Amino acid sequence: MGLLIGTSSKMNLTSTQAAAYLGALRPMLEGLTDRGLFVLLPFTSIWVARERLTGSNIRWGAQDVHPEDAGAHTGDVSAPMLADLGCTYVEVGHHERRRDYGETDELVAAKVAAAQRWGMTALVCVGEVEHEPFDRVVAHLDRQLALLAAADSRRLVVAYEPAWAIGVGATAAPPEWVGQVHGAIRARLASSGPDAATIPILYGGSVDAAGAPALLEQPEVDGLFVGRQALDPRVFATIAHTSVG
């Protein structure tokens, strides 16, 4: 499919706001068929994505999922609920979920399995908290990726999101660093089977329109997972249209 470019709106965009956002974004991305495109909205706005994006070249999905399919889990949302809303992607393991809710690698792996059971692609966020030497980063990533060995590589996307490069005031990691880390992630995934070459590896961490070309030119960077910059549909469209080579 080529590049994969997507965004998570985090805890932004009410249903009304999402309708306006997607209404503006869809025509900006029409005709862009040489890459995959997706948006991940809050649970309350996913129905809007199904309504506004069906028949378009933009897929939609959720920012989290419960590992169980049903049961006494008040306030949680299951994979079959998301599949029923037409979700293609489900984000799991974001740094903020790990930090705020104590999510472990084991829980992340269970959420991956839930999403894949219902035919959706799990987008797994990995990355280090502090800017550490390369060998320590690789050791940290090895632990996060080890539990994905049993996952279906055909329905898996990995997003490298170093926590130190996320949030207001943060700076995107240098492109050369991103390329180096993505190479290490590819090597780790390859150890789990030959199909690992098909797993897209995205970079997400203070991605903006100015820095997108240099990031996409790095080895093993298969796309971008954009954060707050994409809340402006014009900026997200600009990033989505980034040419490489």
Kindly name the residue from 91, 103, 128, 161 that is annotated as catalytic: 161
C-alpha angle 119-121-125 in degrees, rounded to nearest 5: 150
Q: Are 112 and 151 in contact (CB under 8 A)?
A: yes
Amino acid at 43: F
Which residues, including other chains, have CB under 8 Å from residue 52's CB and lie 6 or more apart? 18, 19, 22, 23, 26
Residues 6 or more apart whose Cβ sits within 8 Å of residue 234: 24, 28
- Give the max Cα distance, the chain: 51
Contact in structure between 235 and 208 (CB atoms under 8 Å): yes
In whole angstroms, give the CA distance from residue 195 to residue 149.
11
CA distance 237 to 28: 6
Choosing from 66, 91, 94, 95, the catalytic residue is 94
Known catalytic residue at 161: yes
Looking at the annotation, which residues are catalytic?
94, 161
